[in-house]
Amino acid sequence: MLPPLNRALEEPVTGLTRFDTRWLTEAVRLREEHAGLLDDQEANRQARQHGGDLAQRIERRALWLAERDGMVTALRHWKQGARLALLGLMLFAVLSGAGLAFAALGDGTRPVNVFWALGSLLGLNLLMLLGWAVGFWLSGEHGAGLGRLWLWLAERLARDAQAAQLAPALLVMLERRRLSRWLLGLGVHGLWLLAMLSALGMLLVLLAGRRYGFVWETTLLAAEPFINLTQTLGALPALLGFGIPSEAMIRASGATQPALEVARQAWASWLLGVVLVYGLVPRLLLAGLCLWRWRQGRARLELDLELPAYRQLRDVLMPSSERLGVQDPAPAALPQAELSTPELGSHGALLVGLELDDRRPWPPTLPATVSDAGLLDSRASRNRLLEQLGRFPPERLLIACDPQRSPDRGSLALLAELARNAGATRIWLLPAVADETLDATRLGDWHEALERLGLAHSERLPLAWLEHGHD
């Protein structure tokens, strides 16, 4: 009986999008570039066994490693932190927009200077929009400060040590197709859109609940520039049904006393229309453009198979025989000398020895229904047997181990891999050779380690179980 984690690693990771899969693949690549290759023998075997092209096998390998090392869970934590950070930025945008509107109109005790109010509502927005446009066309680094803030908040809120490579992997992956400009642009314009919606909503609330007078004031300029500017700015909102103060109303608003009620309504309608058309609509259109380009680019994201880390995996995950295909017809029989382990069907029993020395006669006498897989004494022999078991898993597998050796992590990991490819597995702890006795402490270590793995063990050859499936 295998531990649940081992069985879970045999299945593909669920709940991940295609984008998440490529993201984790890049994170695994960056981790291996910084810390060296991971223990990937089982991951490579799983990727080869499931087939597909090189990119699919690389992703399958990365998902297996990410699940084993906790990076899938870290990704979920990181995404939760990113959502919380985004919610915090959205709340800040809403409060900022409402604050701009309140600062522009005040509490109603004093007349509102029309163009000061307009500057408060649209000035910073338009300056930031101009900065975004310049940065977009010159370097594509618009929104980098906001992006760094968002990534920093997401990492702090995730609180997962395994998430260290996720943010760098995301940036590397997005920069490959220059998608970061569209994602950050979507964030910048989306937050400004939310701020302007909040400002417009607060304007409606204040104008509906209080009585405001509107004036314009100047010392150097004449009235004509204000009249022309007001009518020019109001031309587009007027197409949507918003009002424009008449020339007489504009001139009257320059007097010491605020204008009459009809002028107040005209100025309020003009102000709402200008904020909507010049503050909210441009952000809405640009956010829609960035969202469209982001979705298009995300759908075309692929792994860069020319990266050195991926080129090194080509020979491991795509053996030359698979890449080239079958060139000659299959012979009538395979030479026995080329097979180190017998081909097994999906039934039957198999005996294999793990790192046994030549003082032990091998193999023991076996029934005809039990096959001998030989000795595993090298990396190549282990890989060959794992490949064979992946194609033809036996119904029963008996692994003979020398309890005089220490149960190191490498041996225990191999036992777990072998056991995952058999219907039932037992460990045969061999007796001591002639003139020697077993170390009781080391034998106890074996018992404890095998119990942690969930593997049954015995100190006698279980021939009845091998042959018939029961004792």
In a domain, 329, yes or no: no
Rounded average pLDDT over 282-296: 93
In a domain, 313, yes or no: no
pLDDT at 260: 64
Q: pLDDT tens-digit profile of 244-255?
A: 887 777 777 665
| Contact (Cβ atoms closer than 8 angstroms) between residue 378 and residue 340 | no
Judgement on whether residues 102 and 245 belong to the same structural domain of the protein = yes
Q: Which of 244, 276, 299 is the last residue of a domain?
A: 299
Chain mean pLDDT for the chain? 80
In a domain, 55, yes or no: no
CA of 292: how far to CAs of 182, 286, 289, 295, 362, in Å? 9, 10, 5, 5, 67
CATH of the domain at 450: 3.40.50
Q: pLDDT tens-digit profile of 318-343?
A: 765 444 344 334 434 333 323 333 44
pLDDT at 293: 92
Q: pLDDT tens-digit profile of 53-77?
A: 888 899 999 999 988 888 888 898 8
Our count of domains for the chain comes to 2
Which among 123, 48, 140, 130 has a CA at the least distance from the CA of 387? 48
pLDDT at 344: 41
Q: pLDDT tens-digit profile of 331-385?
A: 343 333 233 334 444 467 888 998 887 777 888 888 888 888 888 877 778 888 8
In a domain, 10, yes or no: no
In a domain, 315, yes or no: no
pLDDT at 431: 85
| Contact (Cβ atoms closer than 8 angstroms) between residue 17 and residue 59 | no
Judgement on whether residues 189 and 253 belong to the same structural domain of the protein = yes
| Contact (Cβ atoms closer than 8 angstroms) between residue 160 and residue 209 | no
CA atoms within 13 A on the CB side of 130: 7
Which position has the higher pLDDT, 373 or 259?
Answer: 373
pLDDT at 87: 92
Q: Which of 266, 299, 332 is the last residue of a domain?
A: 299
Give the integer Cα–Cα distance in Å for 135 and 195: 21
Q: Which of 239, 274, 299 is the last residue of a domain?
A: 299
Which position has the higher pLDDT, 333 or 20?
Answer: 20
Q: Any idea which residue has 């022309």 for tokens?
A: 228
Judgement on whether residues 354 and 265 belong to the same structural domain of the protein = no
pLDDT at 299: 86
Task: Please tell me which of 88-92, 208-212, 226-230, 338-342 the model is most confident about, judged by mean pLDDT.
Answer: 88-92
Q: pLDDT tens-digit profile of 399-458?
A: 999 888 878 777 888 888 888 888 889 998 988 877 778 888 888 888 988 888 888 888
In a domain, 46, yes or no: no
In a domain, 462, yes or no: yes
Judgement on whether residues 263 and 144 belong to the same structural domain of the protein = yes
Judgement on whether residues 132 and 203 belong to the same structural domain of the protein = yes
Judgement on whether residues 216 and 354 belong to the same structural domain of the protein = no
Judgement on whether residues 381 and 289 belong to the same structural domain of the protein = no
pLDDT at 203: 93
In a domain, 396, yes or no: yes
Judgement on whether residues 279 and 360 belong to the same structural domain of the protein = no
Q: Count H helices, E strands: the chain?
A: 19, 7
Q: pLDDT tens-digit profile of 79-129?
A: 888 889 899 999 999 999 999 999 888 877 788 888 888 888 998 899 988
pLDDT at 221: 65
Judgement on whether residues 262 and 363 belong to the same structural domain of the protein = no
Judgement on whether residues 282 and 348 belong to the same structural domain of the protein = no
Judgement on whether residues 279 and 158 belong to the same structural domain of the protein = yes
H/E run at residue 201: helix 180-209
Judgement on whether residues 171 and 251 belong to the same structural domain of the protein = yes
pTM over 0.75? The answer is no
Q: Which domain holds residue 266?
A: 72-299
